[in-house]
Every structure is written in structure tokens, then in C-alpha cells.
A and B are shown apart, each in its own frame.
Chain A
């Protein structure tokens, strides 16, 4: 009984803590002393120049980051778990680094590398590659940077998922029954890691949809950068944007965790 009461109370407090500011924010976007109730702020967002473009760009970046971070982290985790358990602390440390290095340092590093690289490779065919990864429409260099940033979260989510299954035995059982390594990875491991993979994907996506510093400093107009540029002068608009992006990310979360739950 006491347990239930406590649970309700905690939940209630948490709900108030989160929902009240949110409700006030929503209220602020739709109500105005002079105009009364109006959805005008949301209308202004959609019609603002660059909305669809930057949103699409960020979603594409997010998708690329998810694919890359999974392709990087999952095989590495499996290999360490199955082949070299002694290397686990090393992997753990490496994947924590992006959390420790401040984004500014990161940007300076990337910018220097790009500039140095452009000079050094000026006379070679690689120069073209270097230019194309900085393409304004789909900046591969941002994908690479975000993969680094997402690694700690993806790693931890996947690691937790792997802990819950006896990976070694499952892998060996599948190998014993004739499965190739790709078959093991895609048909045995992944299906049993759905919620962990969904979690890793969501965290990566949330990161991409919310990252401002690196994109802004490197001069790319991703969705978060766009929000800041557009909302500069219009208070109501900027809050409406926050509410909108929150709702959007929430929707994506529900989709991803729904995909994760289907495996049961």
C-alpha cells in the first residue's frame, strides 16, 4: 500500500515538474494579450524560410549517424565480448572520451584538420574528397563528428542489451547449426537486441536533433542552428519552435521504442 502511494506521489511530483513548464510554454505560444488565442506562431514556423530544408538535413544526418554508429559499435562490442574480454576496459575508456572532450576543442580540432588537410592534399585527387565531405547539403564531416559524440550513448545502450543475453552461447549455438558470421549478426544477435538498438538509435537521433555548437561553429544550417537563427527576435516563435521540436523528438522516440517492443 505504502509502496503504491509513494510511487504515485513521486510520479505526480515528476509530472508537475515536467508538465507545468511545458504547459505554460504551450500556452505562451498560442495566447497573446492583444490577439487572444491564435496558432499564428506555428504557422510562422512552417512558412519561415529554411524550415523543411534544415529539418530534412538534420533527419538525414541522424539516420546516417545511427547506421554508422551501430555498424561501428555493435561488431566492436561483439568482438571484444567474444574474442578479447580483456580489452573491455579499453573500449569503455575510448567510448567515454567524447564525453570528456569539450565540443569547442572538438570543433577547433576538426577545423584545423580540414584546413591542414586541404592544404596538404591540394595537388592530389583526395582534395576533391575532402571538399565533398564538407558539402553544405549533406556534410559528411558532421556525420563523422556526431558519430563520435553518439558513441558513448550507443555503446552503453548496446552494452546493457548484450549483458541481458548470453551472447557467447547464442553465437556458438548458431555457428554450430551452420550460420555464417553475417547471419549470426543479423538474424541472431540483432533480433535479440532490438530494444537496445532502438535505444542507441534514439539517443543518437536526439543528439543530432539537439546539437548546436559544432554545427554552428562549422557553419552548417542544421535544424537546431536554424531554430536559433530564426527565433532571434520573435519570442513567441522561438518557444513555439522548442515545443515543436520537443514534440517531434517525442514522436520519433515513440516510433523507435515501438519498433523495439515488437520483438517480444
Chain B
């Protein structure tokens, strides 16, 4: 059961939501659509679900063109961002709603609902009403409801964004476990890069209705295809650099360039873990702040030349590298991406 998006375009008045999005999702794969708010993730998902019709382009499910098939005849189960359980039905009837529509006998509806509720860890909750459940439980029920008809594709539109942090992490792991167990082709929309990286087989990074990169999480993180991806996924330092030939000079080091540079004076993009910090009296900066995060500590280093750098150091070094200490900053030797020069060096933290 593959899903193919072919050259999808959709605009709302003057807003272009999808700008030629092409992508193939493989059988049994969990793909995450990742991107900032407004980049077209939901619109793309709604095109697959049939709630939105692309202006041009086509959607294929399992090789069949479904672009013109109405939503109620597509084989795609969806979990919505907002709570979407039917308030007048109890949990069991919510889960069995699709079977009810298809006029399946009561006994089958009840046994299937019980089975699915068991699957999402809510066995015995069948008689409750949605308003008697927590947010996390409601989304579990919504998940069970979406799976009840054994759809070809599972569509999740930021299903965890309304939940608090701890529930979010638990539930996303559970979704992944279920998805692997059922082997169901899944699209998981999120604006949270950590969420995308931790559950997906592949991450598709979207920007302004276009695909920036689609690759396994590690690759998106380590080898971002564009500066946008580099900045959106994980934390990125912007360090002033000067291009010379195939290399770029930063802090007196010459690092190999990854891809073409946008000019001579550029921003070099470096991850905090690729920054080394060592105590040194004649160093180029001092530690401004340190936040301990268990296995690592993230240091904020003020450079004498202006600007700041974020550096991740092993957690046990946090004591030695205390705020106020004069330090030297060096970079791990590996190909770096560059972006057009912005202002002074400033790290960009992703929006979580």
C-alpha cells in the first residue's frame, strides 16, 4: 500500500499552500511530514484523506488515482489534531463508528471495538463518554477508531500537539509500536523535529509547500540538504566565515565546503556537538552560561569578536567548564553547509 503524491499544487486565494509537492511513501513505512506552521503539511495530508482537492497534481493510493474519490470512499484512517470523538457516543460506539456505517452486525462491532481498545491500552473503557477521558486517552480512542476499518493508510495530523510533554512522548512511542506491529503505511504530520526524528522511518521536510529533503532521520540531521533543513532540524550555530576555493575559513580553521557557497562572506552552519571548547587563558571567548542536560551540558560561549556559540560537551565536563571561564573554541573537521551572511554570529534554536 504505497501512497504517491504527484506534483500537488493547492492555493487558497493568494496563499500557496502546496507548490508542486511530489513524494512516494513506501509500503509499511512511517513517514513524518515536518515543517514550520503554515508550510502545507495539513493541506498535503488532507489531499490524501480527500478533504482537500489539489488544484493540479494527483494522489495515488496503492497505484490507483484517488484524486477525485470522495473522502468517504478512500481507504485512509485519520487522527485529527483537535479532539474529534463524537460527543454523543460512548468510546465503544466511537471506535465502531466505521463498522456501523458499513452496517456490520452488533456482535462484530462490539468484539472489534473491544479488540482495538485493548490494542491502544484502553480495554474496559468502552462504556465511557469522551468527556470522561483525558486528552491522551481521547487520542488513543481516535487512533483505535481510525484503525477499526483496517485502512490502507494511517494519517496523523499533529495528533499529540494538544497533549502535555510526558503523555506526548509516551503516546508517540506507542503509535510507533502499533504502526510497526500492524505494518501500516503511515503519514505523521508534526512541527516538532524531535518527534519526527524519533518515530519516523523517513522525514520529509517541507517549506512553503515544497519538499526540501526526504531522508531517514539520521541523514536529515547529519547531512541536511539545504540550509533550511539544517536550521529547522536540531540546533545550529551561525558562524561568520570566508569562502576560499573549496574551503571556508572559520576561527582560523579551513573546513571543507558541503555544496556550493552562496557568496564569499557567508554564515557557516555548525551543530553544537561539532564545537569543541577547552579552557585557555588566551582563548577567543568565555563561557556565558551552562545548562546541564544529563549526558551532555550545553554551553553558551561569548566570543570576543562579538556573537555567541552554542557547544555541547560531555556532561562530566560541566563542572570544569563553568561560567566565566576563558575558553578556546575549535570546530570538528567535517564538511559544513553555508548560508548567506546574516547578522553577527547567533545560534538558532529550533522552535519546539
Contacts and interface: CB of A to CB of B under 8 A. Distances in A.
Interface of A: 165-166, 169-170, 172-180, 183, 188, 191-192, 263
B132 to A, nearest CB: 13
Contacts of A192: 86-88
Contacts of B260: none
A165 B235 CA distance: 40
A192 B80 CA distance: 19
A62 B110 CA distance: 41
B82 A176 contact: no
Contacts of A176: 49, 71-72, 76-78, 146
Contacts of A179: 72, 97, 101
B64 to A, nearest CB: 17
Given A166-B84, A172-B78, A176-B49, 16 more contacts: A169-B84, A170-B84, A172-B80, A175-B50, A176-B78, A176-B146, A177-B77, A177-B98, A178-B149, A179-B72, A179-B97, A183-B101, A191-B88, A192-B86, A192-B88, A263-B88
B166 interface: no
A173 B80 contact: yes
Interface in B74-98: 76-78, 80, 82-88, 97-98
When A and B form their complex, which 4 residue pairs have the shortest distance between CB atoms, in order from nearest?
A177-B98, A175-B71, A173-B84, A169-B84
B280 to A, nearest CB: 58
B73 interface: yes
Pick from A165, A172, A178, A192 the residue with the most CB of B within 10 Å. Answer: A178
B145 interface: yes
11 contacts: A166-B83, A169-B84, A170-B86, A174-B97, A175-B50, A175-B72, A176-B72, A177-B101, A177-B148, A188-B86, A192-B88
A165 B83 CA distance: 11
A263 B149 CA distance: 27
A56 B111 CA distance: 49
Contacts of B102: 178
A148 B146 CA distance: 42
A172 B158 CA distance: 16
B251 interface: no
Contacts of A175: 50-51, 70-72
A172 B88 CA distance: 16
Nearest to A164: B87
Contact of A177 (B51, B70, B83, B149): B149
B87 A177 contact: no
B302 to A, nearest CB: 48
Nearest to B146: A176
Pick from B72, B77, B145 the residue with the most CB of A within 10 Å. Answer: B72
A176 B51 CA distance: 9
A178 B88 contact: no
Interface in B142-158: 142, 145-146, 148-149
B91 to A, nearest CB: 14
B126 to A, nearest CB: 17
Contacts of A174: 86, 97, 101
Nearest to B75: A178
Nearest to B77: A176
A49 to B, nearest CB: 47
A176 to B, nearest CB: 5
A65 to B, nearest CB: 26
Nearest to A175: B71
A7 B238 CA distance: 63
A169 B159 CA distance: 13
Contacts of B82: 166, 169
B210 to A, nearest CB: 25
Nearest to A183: B101
Given A166-B82, A173-B80, A178 B98 contact: yes
Given A180-B72, A191-B88, A173 B101 contact: no
A228 B153 CA distance: 67
A179 B87 CA distance: 17
B117 to A, nearest CB: 16
Pick from A165, A166, A172, A180 the residue with the most CB of B within 10 Å. Answer: A172
Contacts of B88: 191-192, 263
A169 B86 CA distance: 10
Contact of A169 (B80, B145, B149): B80
